Amino acid sequence: MRHRKTGRKLGRTSSHRQALFRNLATALFAHERIETTEAKAKELRLFVDRLLSLAKRDDTHSRRLVFRDIKSKPVLEKLFGPLAERYADRAGGFTRATKIGPRRGDCADMVLLELLDTDVPLGVRKRKKGTQRQ
């Protein structure tokens, strides 16, 4: 029985899954917008919300808890600086997942996961030379 066992396994071991979430969260905080699969995005939201809530507290213990997941110093400075200030009055729900259609190779549902209230412009996706639109 799997009573009260939350979270998707995503076909990975626990250490691989943890590394995946750490890398995706670092990329999301650095660029404020990433493109990933729907299942990964839904799980990443929980991980990101926890880290942002800790960053908003900004005490020594919360910094140490965030440091064990985010290893990039510029991303940490951004997380505890402008991002924590931006979401200071928001209780939760720091991300938005927008469906962008299936992935071309395996038809996996893709989403654009972004932080709310971002001022980063939405980039235009470039097609590879020789590919056609369907």
Q: Which domains does the chain have, with CATH numbers?
A: 14-115 (3.90.1030.10)
Task: Render pLDDT for 25-73 as a digit per residue (tens, 0 to 9).
Answer: 999 999 999 999 999 999 999 999 999 999 999 999 999 999 999 999 9
Task: Render pLDDT for 80-110 as a digit per residue (tens, 0 to 9).
Answer: 999 999 999 999 999 999 999 999 999 999 9
In this structure, the number of other CB atoms found within 10 A of the CB of residue 84 comes to 17
Element (H, E) at 34: strand 33-37
Global model pTM greater than 0.85: yes
